[in-house]
Amino acid sequence: MLLENYSEKYRTAVSDYFKEFSENGEEIREDVCGGPSLTFLYVRESDGRLIGMLDLRQDETAKKIGTFGYAIRPCERRKGYGSMLVEAAMELCGMMDINEPELFVKQDNTAGLAFLSGLGFKITGRSVDGHFILKKGR
């Protein structure tokens, strides 16, 4: 798998990606954390298919604090891509000196909460809009 920066080359793939979520009745929010972000495309090397996206945000004032969000396209779930993408996100956070990255998850996203719990994340609070805030447990 490759983490790629967005480029014109991926315009159609990104459009199709968001369309698939919409057709599946799912919403992807790009503004959960606020502030500037780095967005990476998670691309399968064998066929160039866009599998997921990763969004990293670093707090502008407290640089060691940050958040990340990710999504795997619905038809590619339960194939191990989510675990690989979260692992890549944690590695990138480490390279950016983000010590304790947070994830924001909708309260009704029981599958996402269970998945992240299995990876060692724990609910540590709630955001102002009601999302659960998760951090990697120690």
Asked whether residue 138 is domain-assigned, the answer is no
Cβ pair 93, 56 in contact under 8 A: yes
Token duo for residue 86: 């979260």
pLDDT above 80 (res 14): yes
Token duo for residue 37: 């972000």
26 or 101, which is more confident: 101
What is the overall mean pLDDT for the chain?
Answer: 85
Burial zone of 79 (CB within 10 Å; 0-12 exposed, 13-18 middle, 19+ buried): exposed
Asked whether residue 129 is domain-assigned, the answer is no
For residue 82, the domain's CATH number is 3.40.630.30
Give the closest residue to 44 by CA, choosing from 75, 90, 68, 8: 75
pLDDT in tens, 53-79: 998 888 776 667 788 889 999 999 999
Percent of the chain surpassing pLDDT 70: 90
Q: What is the pLDDT of residue 34?
A: 47
pLDDT above 70 (res 30): no
**Total of domains in the chain:** 1
Asked whether residue 131 is domain-assigned, the answer is no
Asked whether residue 21 is domain-assigned, the answer is yes
Asked whether residue 19 is domain-assigned, the answer is yes
**What's the predicted TM-score (pTM) here?**
0.80
Asked whether residue 74 is domain-assigned, the answer is yes
Q: What is the pLDDT of residue 65?
A: 72
Asked whether residue 54 is domain-assigned, the answer is yes
Averaged pLDDT for residues 33-58: 84
Q: Which domain holds residue 13?
A: 2-101
Asked whether residue 24 is domain-assigned, the answer is yes
pLDDT above 70 (res 132): yes
Q: What is the pLDDT of residue 10?
A: 85
